[in-house]
Structure 1
Amino acid sequence: MNKILPLLRREWLQYRFGWALMIAVPLGIALLLLSFGQIQLGGDEAEAVNSQLRPLQLASLLTVASMAGSAATLFLIACFSSIIIIAGMARRDHSDRSVEFWLSLPATHSASLAAPLVVHLLLVPAAALLAGLLGGLLVSLVLVTRVVGIGEWFALPWLDLLPAILALAARLLAGLPLAVLWMSPLILLVVLLSAWFRSWSWVILGVGIGLGSQLLNRLFGQPLLSDITVGLLKGAARSLLHTGRELRMQGTDSPEQALHNLAGWALHDFSLALRDLPSPLLLGGLVFAGGCFYMLVRWRERGAGAAS
């Protein structure tokens, strides 16, 4: 662990300002728009809300939507930005001429490559999700105050709302490592291509999958590469949210019962994601990802030998 901590600290020192902006800018824009902009649900929607929902129910709906929307937005931003950063991970030590310093650390080449992967693919999205939940509280306060009134926000049934929201957040956090497993072949392939071909990695990946799929389709009647890519992407998406079916309330139509059912739904949905893991596609993808990681380690070793 002592060998990994300097590598984790390096990621914090190098990207902390960017991470702060990634969280503060979207939340700041949302707060400004909600504070000074015009909030309008629309003609038909507003009439339906006013006729069917009490103010407290509307406040609950807006609070859940604000917190879930803020968390999901920051989570997606963190995921996409982390993938872009990881794509250039292999070459950054060589491009900034700091490889001699990092070689002096008591860490292996595999640890030097694995630490950024853990930080950017697991820790950063998880932290962004939690920051989105906290920021969503402030967003919900402004939104509910503008639409219903600040008194309704303080009168919300927080003992029912918070466990339901935390259950959804726990579902995403639990599915994140599974999604990384599904995406690891594509991510490590991009990192390896970036090490070999620099900024052409994304172009080579896209052209290779497209032309390779067309060639295999003409030869064997099946676009194998595109099918594998789509399968990996679908597996990653199902790891985060397996089913898009609406939560069915048992025995009552009350919103309170729906909130209580969310925890059971999240647990069931995660069990479905676990059920997809014993898959030949995932097993083959992990073997391929392991091969890409091995070639990255060997490439780094050759670069270290040239630097020394």
Structure 2
Amino acid sequence: MNKLIPLLQREWLQYRFGWALMVAVPLGVALLLLAFGEIQIGQEAAKTVGSKLAPLLTVASLAGSAVTLFLIACFTSIIIVAGMARRDHSDRSVEFWLSLPATHSASLAAPLLVHLLLVPAAALLAGLAGGLLVSLVVVARVVGVGEWFAMPWLDLLPAVGALTARMLAGLPLAMLWLSPLILLVVLLSAWFRSWSWVILGVGIGLGSQLLKQLFGQPFLSDVTLALLKQAGNALVYADSEFKMGGSDGVERLSALPAWAWHDFVMALRELPSPLLLGGLLFAGGCFYLLVLWRERGAGAAG
């Protein structure tokens, strides 16, 4: 673990400014637009919702801010990770990192851990914190600031916490499902530089068509779509069998922790599958080839 700390610190020092912008810019733009722009809510919709308008606006603000920053973090992290294999070789810093008591596998695993797990999780939490400010502005402009302070926070916060815990618990599962695709892109980037995404897209498309012509089944595209679907299910399974019950908003909020636990259990039940086992074996092979590639490059640099 001590050998990983300098590698984790390296990611923080190199990307902290970009991470700060990734959080501050979307939240800042949203706050400015909501504070000085026009917020339109139909009168009929407002009458239908009634006293639940403030809680609904708050939940929408929290969810919107958290999900937006989470998705931005995921997409940017995947793009950064795709080019991580050549990062040390392009700036010749591989010679410095070879002087540290860290293996090649640790040097590759540390960026994966930071960008694929820690950064999206931190972005989700930052989105929730910023969502509180966004909800305050929205509720204050629509129904008055007093309604924001008068909301049933003792019912709302546990529900939001349960949903947050559900997303955080599902994040490692989602990355397990996506690991074959992510590590394949990293490996292709190491071999073919900026052509990795093109080769991946063309390879899946042409390979699927070829397999469909030969065997009547577009295997590659089916596997890719299945992995993406399971990654989404790992975050939110949305099982229709679980009913929260209750027509009152407070009753539904109190049922959200149970729903989140049930949803996570359903996602766990998808793990024992040939698709995931084959994907992890494929991802392990890609990681092994990356380690070999880095060793050869380090040997040339040394």
Q: TM bucket by the smaller chain?
A: over 0.9
Give CA deviations for 1:135-165 in whole Å, capped at 9, x if unaligned.
0000000000000000011111111000000
Aligned residue number for residue 173 of structure 2: 178
1:48 to 27, 41, 45: 45
CA distance in 1, matches of 2:123, 2:85: 24
1:275 aligns to 2:269 (yes or no): yes
Q: How does 1:92-241 map to 2 (within 5 A)?
A: 92-241=87-236
Aligned residue number for residue 33 of structure 1: 33
Structure 1 unaligned regions, length at least 5: none
Distance 1:49 1:246, change over 3 A: farther
CA distance in 1, matches of 2:12, 2:273: 35
Aligned residue number for residue 293 of structure 2: 299
SS at match of 1:53: helix
Distance 1:247 1:131, change over 3 A: farther
Number of residue pairs matched by the alignment: 302
Deviation at 1:244, TM superposition (A): 6.4
SS at match of 2:154: helix
Say if 2:65 and 2:130, in contact at 8 Å, map to a contact too.
yes
Distance 1:52 1:63, change over 3 A: closer
Deviation at 1:78, TM superposition (A): 0.2
Deviating above 6 A after TM superposition, structure 1's stretches of 4 or more consecutive aligned residues are none
CA distance in 1, matches of 2:121, 2:15: 16
Say if 1:247 and 1:262, in contact at 8 Å, map to a contact too.
no
1:262 aligns to 2:259 (yes or no): no
CA distance in 1, matches of 2:213, 2:177: 28
Say if 1:188 and 1:293, in contact at 8 Å, map to a contact too.
yes
Taking structure 1 as the reference length, the TM-score comes to: 0.96
CA distance in 2, matches of 1:26, 1:249: 33
Deviation at 1:97, TM superposition (A): 1.1
CA distance in 1, matches of 2:296, 2:253: 56
Aligned residue number for residue 5 of structure 1: 5
The aligned amino acid for 2:259 is W
CA distance in 1, matches of 2:48, 2:28: 33
Say if 2:244 and 2:259, in contact at 8 Å, map to a contact too.
no
CA distance in 1, matches of 2:248, 2:288: 54
Say if 1:247 and 1:258, in contact at 8 Å, map to a contact too.
no
The aligned amino acid for 1:47 is E
Taking structure 2 as the reference length, the TM-score comes to: 0.98
Deviation at 1:50, TM superposition (A): 1.7
Deviation at 1:36, TM superposition (A): 0.2
Say if 2:239 and 2:266, in contact at 8 Å, map to a contact too.
no
Give CA deviations for 1:38-76 in whole Å, capped at 9, x if unaligned.
00024xxx313224412xx21111111101110000000
The aligned amino acid for 1:214 is Q
Say if 2:166 and 2:264, in contact at 8 Å, map to a contact too.
yes
Deviation at 1:247, TM superposition (A): 7.2
CA distance in 1, matches of 2:227, 2:80: 21
Give CA deviations for 1:233-282 in whole Å, capped at 9, x if unaligned.
011000001116597443x3110000001000000000000000001010
Structure 2 unaligned regions, length at least 5: none
CA distance in 2, matches of 1:48, 1:248: 25
The aligned amino acid for 1:48 is A
Say if 1:213 and 1:223, in contact at 8 Å, map to a contact too.
yes
CA distance in 2, matches of 1:262, 1:286: 32
Q: Percent identity?
A: 77
SS at match of 1:282: helix
For the aligned residue pairs, the C-alpha RMSD in angstroms reads 1.1
Say if 2:244 and 2:256, in contact at 8 Å, map to a contact too.
no
Give CA deviations for 1:161-211 in whole Å, capped at 9, x if unaligned.
000001101100000000000000000000000000000000000000000
The aligned amino acid for 1:272 is M
Give CA deviations for 1:83-116 in whole Å, capped at 9, x if unaligned.
0000000000000111100111110000000000
